Amino acid sequence: MNADDPVSDLTPLEAAAEWEALAGEIKDHDKAYYQNDAPRIADADYDALRRRLEAIEAAFPELKRPGGPSEKVGAPPAAGFKKVAHARPMLSLGNAFGDGDVIEFIARVRRFLGLDEDEAVEIVCEPKIDGLSVSLRYENGEFVLGATRGDGTTGEDITENLKTLSDIPMTIRDAPEILEVRGEVFMTRGDFETLNQEQEKAGAKVFANPRNAAAGSLRQKDPAVTASRPLSLFAYGWGEVSEPVADTHWDFLENLRGWGLPTNPLAERAADTEDCLRFHLQVEERRQDLDYAIDGMVYKVNRIDWQERLGQVSRAPRWAVAHKFPAEKAETVLNEIIIQVGRTGSLTPVAEFAPVTVGGVLVSRATLHNEDEIARKDIRIGDTVIIQRAGDVIPQVVSVILDKRPRGAKPYKFPDKCPECGSHAVREEGEARRRCTGGLVCPAQAVERLKHFVSRNAFDIESLGAKSIEDFHKYGLIITPFDIFFLKGRAVEICERDGWGEKSLNNLLRAIEERKTISLERFIYALGIRQVGQATAKLLARQYGSFKTWRDAMIEAKADDSEDYADLINIDGIGSAMAKDLIEFFDEKHNLNVVNDLDKELTVEDFQAPDTSSSPIAGKTVVFTGTLETLSRAEAKTRAEALGAKVAGSVSKKTDYVVVGADAGSKAKKARELGVETLSEQAWLKLIG
Ligand code: IVH
């Protein structure tokens, strides 16, 4: 066998033998590089091995194995970088897809701030750079720490790599003592093309798009490699600062430039919504001519005091929004429709098509949402379809080109059995999706629940990736989340699994050990109860305070006439459908057993309310009713919660205060009947100081 022989000359037997040899060799190099930090060959030679393996797999697809070396990503595991807790979270942005969403964004800002009609809201419009966000920390003018965004709360320390970017000054003058600058690292299209040509010449990895190239270049273990890559930066925000950075965002951008940090030259100030929309159009027209990828415009409320009042919802600020550009489209042939089974059993049809580049990214799959969507668009296997991709969202099939439909193509028949476990898949009235009724016997559901359990915003066990979960589940190493905490006893079996060695196992066991103490809100979220996302998990944690109080209340709430049920649906943000899912979850004995077992093994920390010890309304339950004059309802709620109060939707004996605005109706009356203290808006403001 000679590695230069064309793959097509190989007999199946030769191909299999060479594949086996290559896979073994790659595995050894992976171990040397990722686990022992001691690569034994040059990157280019390593990549050549991988390319040979991929070529063989392309010609002999039967050799491909799930979890085999060709499916493993080349990037070093995150474990290679030190974690950094961000002093202030790195937020993401809400999206606006059309003019209507932008109008609504500004209207919402106005409502929240309670602005008069004649008061203008100035907006700064900046291009949304398609790169990677980073945080740059300066102390006394010295660049001391650079980090990736990570999950927004914790990122990775890439200081040494960032130091190699000429756009990042190592020292700045006249800056606050502590200054965290946030910005986007990217690669220009020109630099990307040149880099790929060089990579190709060197027989090294070719990147799919500038964003991937930037990401790969930033996450290098060796800063010298990063230094050799052409990376750029636009700065646009701040994190922790020891003194105010400016009065307006616009002035802040100017300060950034003064400190030697590049900002995007296309930023503009807009006086109103129409102005924003005009800039959006203008920049979109120039989009193809720009030397860097952008995927929309970001609108930011200019006044920083207003930004502060607006605050954030979940992980996105209320004072900013990303107005995306329309999706880019492409044409391809639909080869297959596969059915994916989600964590709560819902069946999602996915289109598999001939790979095609859309908006600079090669895609071969798109979601078809549900069976009605397939019927409505009459999508058939073999059809030529138009697909689109907008930003990071999963590509979608927009329509079918009927003229190109092959003869004999039949309407798609949606399965009524779960493809994974064969159980009936039923569609309840009012539901868009069919759901597998297999529950705990369905391996697909179990695997998805496990993936959710270890995911970033839940238990965050990074080294248990999707592939390992599938593999460990298949071989009985992890059946329920509880088993994760007993992997220590299965070390020998784990080391036998592909890709696992002593070092990676030790890293995993350490990560698991660290996660044995977990906040109540993360714990609730990790359970993967239908409809219970992060925001709801937090609401529940805030309301019930401790794991046991929550669990007992959910069990008691089964009786709809119980006080616990009334309390549950009285939480502002929890409706009867969500309550039903929570109650059903606890009513399932297996679930309760797993939850109780977990409780025994773990330390679920009580909800950490912000320090409100000096707050006069800490722990009190408040109901707002009627129209408030100086505060919008949303702002009133946010402030009350920030001061440690719970905001409820209706009045009961447990309510401490009812804040009565103009034209209040039955709630004010009920408060008087129950003898609950009512306050005018002024009295309330005085109370909270
Ligand atoms: S502002 C709290 N401005 O978009 C404000 N973000 O989808 C959050 N991004 O994580 C960010 N260009 O990586 C902002 N001009 C810009 C941006 C920008 C790109 C990225 C950033 C952020 C993501 C949110």
Alpha-carbon 31 to chain mean position: 29
Note whether 300 and 126 are within 8 A (CB).
yes
**3-state DSSP call for residue 150?**
coil
Catalytic one of 27, 31, 64, 128: 128
Q: Cβ(323)–Cβ(296) under 8 Å?
A: yes
Among 338, 340, 359, 360, residue whose Cα is nearest residue 348: 340
Could you give the CA distance from residue 648 to residue 572 in angstroms, rounded to a whole number? Answer: 5
Q: What is the pLDDT of residues 452-488, one digit of tens each?
A: 999 988 999 988 988 899 999 999 999 999 999 999 9
Whether the per-residue pLDDT at 270 is higher than 90: the answer is: yes
Neighbours of 620 (CB within 10 A): 18
Q: Does any ligand 1 atom lie closer than 6 A to the CB of residue 134?
A: no
Could you tell me if residue 190 is inside a domain?
Answer: yes
The DSSP call for residue 402 is: G
* CATH for 673: 3.40.50.10190
CB 249 within 8 A of CB 302: yes
Among 84-88, 519-523, 631-635, which is the least confidently predicted range? 631-635
**What's the whole-number average pLDDT of the chain?**
89
Across the range 666-682, mean pLDDT stands at 90
Q: Is the minimum distance from the CB of 353 to ligand 1 under 6 angstroms?
A: no
Distance in angstroms (rounded) separating the CA atoms of residues 683 and 689: 10
Over its C-alpha atoms, the chain yields an Rg (Å, rounded) of: 28
CA of 185 to the centre of ligand 1 (A): 11
For residue 239, the CA-to-ligand 1 centroid distance in Å is: 13
Q: How many residues does the chain have?
A: 689
Q: What confidence tier does 688 reach under pLDDT thresholds 50, 70, 90?
A: confident
Residue 67's pLDDT band, with cuts at 50, 70 and 90, is low
Q: How far is the CA of 361 from the centre of ligand 1 (A)?
A: 20
CATH of the domain at 15: 2.40.50.140
205 and 241, same structural domain? yes
Do 24 and 153 fall within a single domain?
no
For residues 64 and 267, the model is more confident at: 267
Whether the pLDDT of residue 76 is over 50: the answer is: no
Is pLDDT above 50 for 73? no
300: β partners:
124, 320
- pLDDT for the residue 31: 60
Q: Are 580 and 540 in the same domain?
A: yes
Higher pLDDT, residue 129 or 8 = 129
What does the pLDDT read at residue 10?
77
Kindly state if the Cβ of 283 falls inside 6 Å of ligand 1.
no
Domain assignment of residue 614, yes or no: no
Q: Is the CB of 30 under 6 A from ligand 1?
A: no
Q: Are residues 315 and 335 in the same domain?
A: no
* Alpha-carbon span 477 to 490, nearest angstrom: 7
How many A from CA of 60 to the centre of ligand 1?
43
Q: 623-636 in b/e burial notation, b at 16+ Cβ within 10 A?
A: bbbbebeebbbbbb
121 lines ligand 1 (CB under 6 A): no
Pocket residue to mutate for ligand 1, from 128, 153, 314, most atoms within 8 A of Cβ: 128
Q: Please name every residue paired with 184 in a beta bridge, in sequence order, or none if there are none.
A: 133, 234
As a whole number of angstroms, the distance between CA 520 and CA 593 comes to 18
Whether 322 lines ligand 1, by a CB cut-off of 6 Å, is yes
What phi, psi does 324 have (nearest 5°)? -75, 155
Using alpha carbons, select from 216, 219, 244, 77 the residue that is nearest to residue 146: 219
Tell me the CATH number at 568.
1.10.150.20
How many other CB atoms are there within 10 angstroms of residue 27's CB atom?
Answer: 16
Q: Same structural domain for residues 108 and 151?
A: yes
Residue-level pLDDT at 586: 94
CA of 316 to the centre of ligand 1 (A): 10
Closest-CA residue, ligand 1 atom 21, reads 133
For 407, the token pair is 């003869």
Q: Mean pLDDT lowest for which of 46-50, 66-70, 115-119, 555-559?
A: 66-70
Helix (H, G, I), strand (E, B) or coil at 356: strand
> Is 668's C-beta closer than 6 angstroms to any atom of ligand 1?
no
pLDDT at res. 44: 61
DSSP-assigned letters across all residues of 296-341: EEEEEESBHHHHHHH-EETTEETTEEEEEPPPEEEEEEEEEEEEEE
Does 118 lie in the same domain as 93? yes
User: In angstroms, how far is the first alpha carbon of the chain from the final one?
Assistant: 81
User: Quick check: CB of 211 below 6 Å from ligand 1?
Assistant: no
More confidently predicted of 210 and 171: 171
With beta carbons less than 8 A apart as the criterion, state whether 183 and 133 touch.
yes
- Residues 91, 93, 95, CA angle at the centre, nearest 5°? 165
Give dist(CA 174, CA 178) in Å, integer.
Answer: 11
Q: Is the CB of 91 under 6 A from ligand 1?
A: yes
Per the structure, the count of domains in the chain is 4
Q: Enter the tokens of residue 304.
A: 């920083």
Spatial CB neighbours of 666, under 8 Å, sequence gap ≥ 6: none
Residue 505 maps to a domain: no
pTM: 0.58
237 lines ligand 1 (CB under 6 A): yes
What lies within 8 Å, CB to CB, of 427 at 6+ separation is 371, 433, 434, 435
> How many whole angstroms separate alpha carbon 560 and alpha carbon 552?
15
**Ligand 1 binding pocket includes 252 (Cβ within 6 Å):** no
CA 393 to ligand 1 centroid distance, Å = 16
Return the closest-CA partner of residue 445 out of 479, 401, 402. 479
Confidence band for 391, pLDDT divided at 50, 70 and 90: low
Whether residues 103 and 239 fall in one domain: yes
pLDDT of residue 360: 62
Same domain, 174 and 287: yes
Closest CA to 217 of 242, 238, 201, 194: 194
Is the domain of 316 the same as that of 188?
yes
Identity of residue 488:
K
pLDDT over threshold 50, residue 74: no
Task: Please state the rounded mean pLDDT for residues 56-83.
Answer: 65
**Residue (of 611, 609, 591, 588) closest to 599 by Cα position:** 591
180 within 8 A of 143, measured Cβ to Cβ = no
437 within a domain of the structure (yes/no)? no
Same domain, 318 and 223: yes
Mean pLDDT of 320-333: 90
Determine contact, residues 91/152, Cβ cutoff 8 Å.
yes
**Is 448:341 a contact under the CB 8 Å cutoff?**
yes
Token digits for 45?
A: 């030679």
CA 475/CA 386 separation, integer angstroms: 40
* Two tokens, residue 11: 């007999």
Q: pLDDT category, 71, cuts 50, 70, 90?
A: low
pLDDT band at 201 (very low <50, low <70, confident <90, very high): confident
Which residue has a Cα nearest atom 10 of ligand 1? 92
Distances (CA, A) of 660 to 1, 157, 636, 637, 648: 84, 50, 12, 14, 14
Atom of ligand 1 nearest to the CA of 264: 15
Instruction: Report CA(573)–ligand 1 centroid distance (Å).
Output: 27
Residue 572 structural domain: 519-605
Ligand 1 centre from 136 Cα, in Å? 14
**388 and 355 share one domain:** yes
508: in domain: no
Which of 75-79, 201-205, 523-527 is the most confident on average? 523-527
Residue 128 annotated as catalytic: yes
Max avg pLDDT among 65-79, 155-169, 378-392, 642-656: 155-169
Query: What's the gap in Å between 128 CA and the centre of ligand 1?
Result: 6
Point out the least confidently predicted range of 108-117, 380-389, 392-401.
392-401
Q: Kindly state if the Cβ of 128 falls inside 6 Å of ligand 1.
A: yes
Establish if 427 belongs to a structural domain.
no
Contact 253, 193 (CB under 8 A): no
317 domain-assigned = yes
CA distance 26 to 558: 55
Q: Answer with the one of 354, 385, 404 that is the final residue of a domain.
A: 404
Final residue belonging to a domain, choices 273, 299, 324: 324
- Token pair 């991937």 is found at 212
In a domain, 392, yes or no: yes
Residue 390 has pLDDT above 80, yes or no: no
Cα–Cα distance list, 260 to 63, 79, 446, 524 (Å) = 54, 33, 52, 45
**Segment 231-263, tens digit of pLDDT:** 999 999 999 999 999 999 999 999 999 999 999
- The arithmetic mean of pLDDT across residues 98-111, rounded, is 95
Structure confidence at residue 66 as a pLDDT band (50, 70, 90):
low
Of the residues 324, 355, 375, the one at which a domain ends: 324
Residue 466 CA: distances (Å) to CA of 163, 345, 492, 526: 33, 18, 21, 15
Give residue 63's Cα distance to chain centre. Answer: 34
The residue nearest atom 17 of ligand 1, judged by CA position, is 128
Mean predicted confidence (pLDDT) in 542-555: 95
Torsional sign, CA 332, 338, 342, 346: positive
| Residue of 93, 97, 151, 264 best suited for mutating to test ligand 1, as the one with most atoms within 8 Å of CB | 93
Q: What pLDDT was estimated at residue 314?
A: 74
- Ligand 1 site-directed mutation target among 86, 95, 133, most atoms within 8 Å of CB: 133
Report d(CA 627, CA 629) in Å as an integer: 6
- Per-residue confidence at 77, pLDDT binned at 50, 70, 90? very low
Instruction: Please report the pLDDT score of residue 41 as a whole number.
Output: 65
Helix (H) or strand (E) holding 496: helix 491-496
Domain CATH number, residue 292: 3.30.470.30
| Inter-residue long-range contacts of 565-568, CB under 8 Å, 24+ positions, other chains counted | 566/652, 567/543, 567/652, 567/654
Q: Which of 3, 1, 57, 50 is nearest to 29 (CA)?
A: 50
- Say what percent of the chain tops pLDDT 70: 94
Q: What are phi and psi of 405, to 5 degrees?
A: -70, 130
* Section 422-439 average pLDDT: 89
CB of residue 460 inside a 6 A radius of ligand 1:
no
Nearest residue to 105 via CA among 287, 282, 255, 316: 316
Do 631 and 533 share a structural domain? no
